[in-house]
Chains A and B, each alone.
Chain A
Amino acid sequence: MSEYSLNDLKKISYKIRMNVIEQVYHAASGHPGGSLSSADIFTVLYFSEMNVDPKNPKWEERDRFVLSKGHCSPALYATLAEKGFFPKEDLSTFRQADSYLEGHPNMTYVPGVDMSTGSLGQGISAAVGMALAGKLDKKDYRVYALLGDGELQEGQVWEALMAAAHYKLDNMVAFLDYNRLQIDGKITEVMSPEPVADKFEAFGWKVINAFGHDHQQLKEALAEAKKTKGKPTMIIAHTTKGKGVSFMEDAAGWHGTAPNKEQRDQAIAELNAVVLELEGK
């Protein structure tokens, strides 16, 4: 894979953010908050870490990714389109009846989607299954999953974490998009999953903390995960919900709300300004 500079990665992450906003704006529905908070994780995974082939999405040796928090499909679709899995123009059809870009990811129709998700807590289990298959087949591919922090309230997540540690799935890495907000407010006020790091450790996972908007830190965390043998790795990515759009940042209200025209214009202007700055314009 060609090496992207940190500058390139940042540019990509902001293009992804712009396409998150465009999709949700065109659909007049969808989930911008968590998509923006996880955009940097997607960027590093697909443009620095994962071994995938946009021309051959079902390539057997590929690394797998499961969006366990399936509602952040806008970030996944924007990333896959940026990577070349399907045309970027299609993003404007997101959530429309005649589109293949379903509200929550569908592996049957969307090139590059490795698992259909949407119902919280299930994707992480599917990732366990993929990692088990990799071990059974003695293949080198790695499996990545992205969890929301509110999603940790689903008991199934802990069943999956238990199983991954039990079977020593060191070919598996999960990210926690730790933005601390869910639909009804702060995770600690709705139903606290804290202390998350201690719990992951107690469940037998290697735990790495990283600033979730720092591509270098995310890359280093992934490198450390690769060196970790005998246990799966959880990267707790400390993030800001709505990252990159001033009025969406750290606001639970933007979990699943679409911007109006004025808000869309402002969001795009803010994000584009970062891209232009990075391009030295």
Chain B
Amino acid sequence: MGDKIATREAYGSALAEFGGDNRIVVLDADLSKSTKTDTFKKKYPERFINMGIAEANMMATAAGLASCGKIVFASSFAMFAAGRAFEQVRNSICYPRLNVKIGATHAGITVGEDGASHQAIEDIAIMRAVPNMVVLSPSDAVETRHAVKAAIEHDGPVYLRLGRLAVPALYSEENFTFELGKGITVAEGTDVTIIATGLMVHTAVAAKEILAGEGIQARVIDIHTIKPIDQGIILKAAKETGAIVTAEEHNVIGGLGSAVAEVLIQNCPVPLKMIGVQDKFGKSGKPDKLLEMYGLTANDIVSQVKEVLKLKNK
């Protein structure tokens, strides 16, 4: 599996890798060492602009730069990028559909020790509700690299949800293809489908192994693009496996689970269970301990798979 790499780390490396394009400008709000935009800054200092601890101004400044032909990456923690600067993202970036990519790191509870004030569990819900916004949530370094590339190639606003915690490799560059808006079937299965995003794709794969030992064949789908969501892959899974469990490091209100439910309920209703933060704030602690406390482990997925199978077999 190789070394563990956080998606924020891969984000910084990808910015540096693809940063040769003179149109790319990277903004940060005094967090470049944490968001890893400093990797870009070291290579292209003339196109890195520190906007200080002023996220609202940073987002609308990004809009102004984009209006002059720049491809702007504006980075901060997800809490401040999607939360504090929500309305700037909505009105100055998305409404005029400007070419701004929001590199939002430290999403979810695996921020760890900094605690609830810094753990965004609402950002997917907020960002996917805004017209013109594309929401990406990659699960490992390789996928992040491709997500950054896709964001550069996409003409319009993109929200890139990234994590602080180092994660193992799920994919290798060989044979990996990334298509914006298309989910990836990580593992085939016929009894049930686990649809996950970000960090939880790893957990879903672990759950699949446990389930296999109990004779349950679970399909695992990685939804790296939460919006526009891949309806085809979801409906195919619903038809072929008849039951779905979603898994995300986000509130169960408005996130991936809700997005999947919106697709299912309108087209092919099947039993659904949602793994996520159960509408409560995070807290300080070691990331692994928090994942346990908040019910985001492989065993939690396994138990919800069993629950959903009861509904399916009723």
Interface size on A, residues (CB 8 A): 35
Interface-central residue, A106, A108, A115, by most chain B CB under 10 Å? A115
Which residue of the partner chain, among B60, B67, B70, B72, contacts A114 with CB atoms under 8 Å?
A: B67
CA distance in complex: A131, B61 (Å): 9
Of the candidate stretches B86-94, B159-167, B290-298, the one touching chain A is: B86-94
Which residue of the partner chain, among A107, A132, A155, contacts B49 with CB atoms under 8 Å?
A: A132
- Asked if A160 and B96 sit within 8 Å, CB to CB, the answer is no
Which residue of the partner chain, among B61, B91, B95, B96, contacts A128 with CB atoms under 8 Å?
A: B61
- Asked if A125 and B60 sit within 8 Å, CB to CB, the answer is yes
Residues of B with C-beta under 8 A to A116? 91-92, 95-96
- Asked if B51 and A126 sit within 8 Å, CB to CB, the answer is no
Residues of B with C-beta under 8 A to A126? 60-61, 63-64, 67, 92
- Asked if B60 and A122 sit within 8 Å, CB to CB, the answer is yes
CA distance in complex: A187, B69 (Å): 37
Residues of A with C-beta under 8 A to B58? 125
Interface-central residue, B57, B63, B66, by most chain A CB under 10 Å? B57
Q: Does residue A119 face the partner (Cβ distance < 8 Å to B)?
A: yes
Residues of B with C-beta under 8 A to A131? 64
Mask: chain A, 144-159; 1 = CB below 8 Å from B; 0 = not: 0000000000011001
Residues of B with C-beta under 8 A to A133? 25, 64-65, 67-70
Which residue of the partner chain, among A107, A132, A136, contacts B61 with CB atoms under 8 Å?
A: A132
CA distance in complex: A188, B60 (Å): 28
Q: Does residue A60 face the partner (Cβ distance < 8 Å to B)?
A: yes
CA distance in complex: A163, B72 (Å): 17
CB-contacts of A77-129 with B (<8 A): 106-108, 114-119, 121-123, 125-129
Q: Does residue B149 face the partner (Cβ distance < 8 Å to A)?
A: no
- Asked if B67 and A115 sit within 8 Å, CB to CB, the answer is yes
- In the assembled complex, the CB of B128 is this many whole angstroms from the nearest CB of chain A, namely 21
Which residue of the partner chain, among B64, B91, B97, contacts A130 with CB atoms under 8 Å?
A: B64
Q: Does residue A162 face the partner (Cβ distance < 8 Å to B)?
A: yes
Residues of B with C-beta under 8 A to A155? 56
- Asked if B64 and A128 sit within 8 Å, CB to CB, the answer is yes
Q: Does residue B312 face the partner (Cβ distance < 8 Å to A)?
A: no
Determine chain A's interface SS by DSSP, over half rule: helix
The size class of the interface chain B forms with chain A is 20 to 34
Q: Does residue B306 face the partner (Cβ distance < 8 Å to A)?
A: no
Interface-central residue, A60, A107, A116, by most chain B CB under 10 Å? A116
Q: Does residue B47 face the partner (Cβ distance < 8 Å to A)?
A: yes
- Asked if B69 and A163 sit within 8 Å, CB to CB, the answer is no
Q: Does residue B195 face the partner (Cβ distance < 8 Å to A)?
A: no
Q: Does residue B52 face the partner (Cβ distance < 8 Å to A)?
A: yes
- Asked if A130 and B57 sit within 8 Å, CB to CB, the answer is no
CB-contacts of B35-76 with A (<8 A): 46-47, 49, 51-52, 54, 56-70, 72
- Asked if A137 and B67 sit within 8 Å, CB to CB, the answer is no
For residue A143, which residue of chain B has the nearest CB? B64
Decide: A60 near B69, CB < 8 A? Known: A106-B96, A156-B57, A159-B56: yes
6 pairs from A and B in contact (CB 8 Å cutoff): A115-B64, A116-B95, A116-B96, A130-B64, A133-B67, A134-B68
Other CB < 8 Å A-B pairs besides A115-B63, A129-B64, 13 of them? Answer: A60-B69, A116-B96, A122-B56, A122-B60, A125-B59, A125-B61, A125-B64, A127-B64, A128-B57, A130-B64, A156-B57, A159-B56, A167-B49
